[in-house]
Amino acid sequence: MITIKSEEEIEKMREAGRITALILREVAERVKPGVSAYELNEYAERRLKELRAAPAFKGYPHPSGGRKYPAALCVSVNEEVVHGIPTKEKVFKEGDIVSLDFGVFKNGYYGDSALTVGIEPLSKRARQLIKTTREALYQGIKKAVAGARLGDLSHVVQTYVERRGFSVVRDFAGHGIGTHLHEEPQVPNFGIPGRGPVFKEGMTIAIEPMVNMGDWRVRVKSDGWTVVTVDGLPSAHFEHTVVIRDGEAEVLTVVE
């Protein structure tokens, strides 16, 4: 069931979204050569405590029944697409494409956001990959308006990406969000215009294009979580939580 949020609930989601965005921005500023993904997660967990919020991902049950997600932050480098675990061994270096995914639980509601930062020097194609993925998210956000259909959003994300010679990941999608991290509907990054549910006032969704430089296909590594591209080429990821408000998309995962 797709839930419609009241103005009171939307205000709580703004708060969760602000904290998500603030900490994610601070974490992103700390991506430098020699820094480890583990340190970034430690930083995020400390800031969550200071801001009296809880991590959305830590302890999240594995979809196929394996071990729970062990951290607050997902750090996925280069060929890692999503759900990379922030280990001490994951030390950043020049040329890395670092995707950070972060979620917050505050006052009963969730915020969820992701972004990708490149560590210069980067190849032109790597820079294009990051830029295309960010812009695909904003193209999708523009379609999250009352009266449009989910398929319109999915389609614009897919075509924006594919026209630039990249591919969209199909095994993972965005999602409704609210009192649960994952609510209905699923928000795929590919689809057919005019299909799917109609967007209505008060719907809250997380839109999250995952874009590969090469083949769209992915597999999960033996740690049970880390999703990687099958061809070993890099991937990028951007995500915002949005509400349909006054007929338009309002991005919730932003710092005031």
Residue 69 interacts, among ligand MF3, Co ion, none and using kind-specific CB cut-offs from 5 to 8 Å, with ligand MF3
Instruction: Kindly state whether residue 60 participates in binding ligand MF3, applying the rule CB under 6 A.
Output: yes
Out of 69, 110, 166, 216, name the contact with ligand MF3 by CB under 6 A. 69
Give the nearest distance from C-beta 23 to ligand MF3 in angstroms: 14
Instruction: Kindly state whether residue 18 participates in binding ligand MF3, applying the rule CB under 6 A.
Output: no
Angstrom distance (rounded) from CA 13 to CA 35: 32
Q: Which is nearer to ligand MF3, 164 or 180 (CB)?
A: 180
Q: Which is nearer to Co ion, 75 or 206 (CB)?
A: 206
Give the nearest distance from C-beta 68 to ligand MF3 in angstroms: 8
Q: Which is nearer to ligand MF3, 63 or 165 (CB)?
A: 63
**Range 167-206, binding ligand MF3 (CB under 6 A):** 175, 206
Angstrom distance (rounded) from CA 88 to CA 86: 7
Surface-to-core class of residue 8, CB atoms within 10 Å of its CB (0-12 exposed, 13-18 middle, 19+ buried):
exposed
Instruction: Kindly state whether residue 240 participates in binding ligand MF3, applying the rule CB under 6 A.
Output: no
Binding footprint of Co ion on the chain (CB under 5 A): 112, 206
Q: Which is nearer to ligand MF3, 121 or 181 (CB)?
A: 181
**Range 90-109, binding ligand MF3 (CB under 6 A):** 101
Q: Which is nearer to ligand MF3, 81 or 148 (CB)?
A: 81
Query: Binding residues for ligand MF3, per CB under 6 A?
Result: 57, 60, 69, 74, 83, 101, 112, 114, 175, 206, 208, 239
